Amino acid sequence: MPHSIEPAASGRAKCRGCSKPIAKGELRLGERMPNPFAEDAEMVLWFHLQCAAFKRPEPLLDALASTEEDVGERDALEAAARNGVEYRRLPRVDGAQVAPTGRAKCRCCREPISKGSWRVRLVWYEDGRFDPSGFVHMGCAEEYFGTAEILDRLQHFASELGNEDVAAVERALRSA
């Protein structure tokens, strides 16, 4: 079965991209992949469309190309997904946070990320799972990702951030 876009049959499934529930009736991406635990079986990973655009761009673009559903925001979803195909590391963005300690090293410059400074949280996708995979300095984002236009992704996956936090993140991004 190809990847598909379909309305959520219930409100019980959680999005793999953000771990939040997908509302009943909301259009979602079903990414189909071989089940690593059972031969000749498939498993389906569900995503909010926006989360899929940011974290699973190829399956979303496949599904958008073939869906007969009326997808609102189609152009914006496609643009975000194409961006993630062009800049291969962008789908690793998993939000922004203040470093609680000074122990983690930046995946880009290998220098420590000082306690209390903003950092980009990264995840690594493999076999249907996203695992935490470290951090980069906000100021290293452009070098690491190839583009510094990541504020929308940071905000999307760190929905707890207030307006002042977002402004601080934006300043940190531009500080490179």
Choices 12-20, 61-69, 81-89, 159-167 (CB under 5 A): range interacting with Zn ion: 12-20
Chain mean position to CA 113: 22
8 touching Zn ion, by CB under 5 A: no
Tell me the DSSP string of 102-132: S-PBBTTT-PBPPTTSEEEEEEEEETTEEEE
Among 119, 137, 153, 156, binds Zn ion (CB under 5 A): 137
106 touching Zn ion, by CB under 5 A: yes
Q: How far is the CB of 167 from Zn ion (least distance, A)?
A: 21
138 touching Zn ion, by CB under 5 A: no
What is the spatial distance between Cα 104 and Cα 157, in angstroms, rounded to a whole number?
20
15 touching Zn ion, by CB under 5 A: yes
For residues 45 and 108, which CB has a smaller minimum distance to Zn ion in the complex? Answer: 108
Q: How far is the CB of 108 from Zn ion (least distance, A)?
A: 4
Q: How far is the CB of 40 from Zn ion (least distance, A)?
A: 29
By CB under 5 A, the count of residues binding Zn ion is: 10
Q: How far is the CB of 125 from Zn ion (least distance, A)?
A: 14
Residues of this chain that interact with Zn ion (CB under 5 A) are 15, 17-18, 48, 51, 106, 108-109, 137, 140
